[in-house]
Amino acid sequence: MLPNPYTPGDRPRFFVGRATERQLLRDKLARVAAYGEMMGPLTIVTGPRGVGKTSLLRDVAGQAEEDGFVIAWVSCVKQHPFLAEVVDRVERSLERAGIGSSGSRRIKDLTVEVSAGFAKVRARLEAGPVAQPTALVGPLEDLLGRAGRLVRERGGSGLIVMIDELHAPLESTREWEYAPEQQALLHGGVLLNAVQNLAGERAGLPVGVIGAGLPQTKSLLTRAATFGERSHELVLGEFDDTDAARLLTEPAAALDVTWSAEAVTEVVRTARGYPQSLQILGAATWDAAAPERGSELDLAAVQAGSHAARSALASIFEARWAVATAAERAFLSAMARVQQPVVRRGEIAAMLATSTESLSMVRRNLIVKGIVEEAGYGRLRFTIPGFERFVLAQTTSTREH
Ligand SMILES: Nc1ncnc2c1ncn2[C@@H]1O[C@H](COP(=O)(O)OP(=O)(O)OP(=O)(O)O)[C@@H](O)[C@H]1O
Ligand SMILES: [Mg+2]
């Protein structure tokens, strides 16, 4: 039996599309490699859940490693300070690259320097809550700069720090006002300051920092430090039909399996360019058909897999529904009942017999949770296609009880 080549919820086996964003990031890295200088201000990849932020970062990381970069990968946690993790990951990534072991005298000296850098940042972090970012910015700059130079000394290109889920530490702990975890916010400020200073100096600092997070990441960063707004943002959206079709056909083609045109059209139509849904539908179709080399996945296979696909999608929907408050659920139900792909705020307010102003907090919280997103001025839509049907079903079943 052939293995299922689709990767719902996982790094894709065949990376598709994102040519512009990929090229942009690669160009930035190429500059670090060529000139041995800082990549520039913080670059962030943003977009709704499941759109492919982590996949893009992983893809760029893979390429960068081939180009001689050492990658420190950090995945942030909700309302949690994250600098200790950054320091830890930088240190581990150097160790894994075999840097810091033996080598020439010059390298040994540098290793000592870098270790001293780690010790300093770590001691500061462990000493308890820090009130002033200044206590950490300098040490973090030193650490990143030295680590990057050390990689370079060893013939590598430099150090790239990738910070996924960057919105998470900066999120509010309360729903009705912005009240972040203070140390987490401070760490955001420290990171921005350090990156900004390194970018200012630039020369001899072969370092880059790339983040990823939900659409609100940039505005959260701006709350952590005013020049958070200077970060360079790459916004990921849905796939167009060509890339969506390739996401389905390429993994199959590698195993000598084809898709019929109608089957592709049906899945592309259902998934509406959303990579996570495409992977789920692709995987379910494959499992239902259990194809052999040389066979074709047709419309019947898509239909046979649709039950499994729906339940896979339902578990994602349920997770989102579970984190919504009663007021948010009422908002979502009203939005779903409009039965339009893009819904005007006024229509939701009218459904709920209230004003758009009184709904603004609920609306904002739903955006922060990644359940809905803005689609032009005063308009909203669900981030995952099919969620409206799920919401309608939820509302109907609660009414029946
Ligand atoms: N460029 C791509 N080519 C093929 N598959 C992709 C691509 N981007 C994303 N996917 C698929 O879509 C799904 C979601 O991708 P990913 O986890 O990268 O999204 P994300 O934006 O990081 O989501 P989250 O916000 O939940 O972390 C995965 O199953 C992944 O395999
Ligand atoms: Mg992700």
pLDDT in tens, 289-345: 999 999 999 999 999 999 999 999 998 899 889 989 999 999 999 999 998 889 999
Taking the CA of 55 as reference, the closest ligand is 1
* CATH class of the 19-235 domain in this structure: alpha beta
3-state secondary structure of 241: helix
The pLDDT of residue 353 is 93
Does an H or E element contain 269, and which?
helix 261-271
The pLDDT of residue 114 is 64
In this structure, whether the domain defined by 323-400 belongs to CATH 1.10.10.10 is answered with yes
Atom of ligand 1 nearest to the CA of 8: 29
The pLDDT of residue 3 is 96
Q: Whose CA is nearest to atom 5 of ligand 1?
A: 12
| CB 9 near ligand 1, within 6 Å | yes
The pLDDT of residue 113 is 62
Long-range contacts of 102-111 (CB under 8 A, 24+ apart): 103/154, 106/153, 107/150, 107/153, 107/154, 110/146, 110/149, 110/150, 110/153, 111/150
Cα-to-centroid distance, 281 and ligand 2 (Å): 19
* Axis crossing angle, helix 105-126 with helix 134-153, rounded to the nearest 10: 160
| CB 52 near ligand 1, within 6 Å | yes
The pLDDT of residue 397 is 64
| CB 218 near ligand 1, within 6 Å | no
The pLDDT of residue 109 is 57
The pLDDT of residue 104 is 44
The pLDDT of residue 21 is 96
The pLDDT of residue 341 is 85
The pLDDT of residue 19 is 95
Residue 149, token pair as written in the block:
């130079």
Atom of ligand 1 nearest to the CA of 58: 18
Contacts of 33 (CB under 8 A, 6+ apart): 67, 68, 69, 157, 158, 206
Atom of ligand 1 nearest to the CA of 6: 31
- Contact at 8 Å (CB) between 120 and 139? yes
Which residues of the chain, if any, have pLDDT below 70? 100-117, 130-131, 397-401
The pLDDT of residue 107 is 46
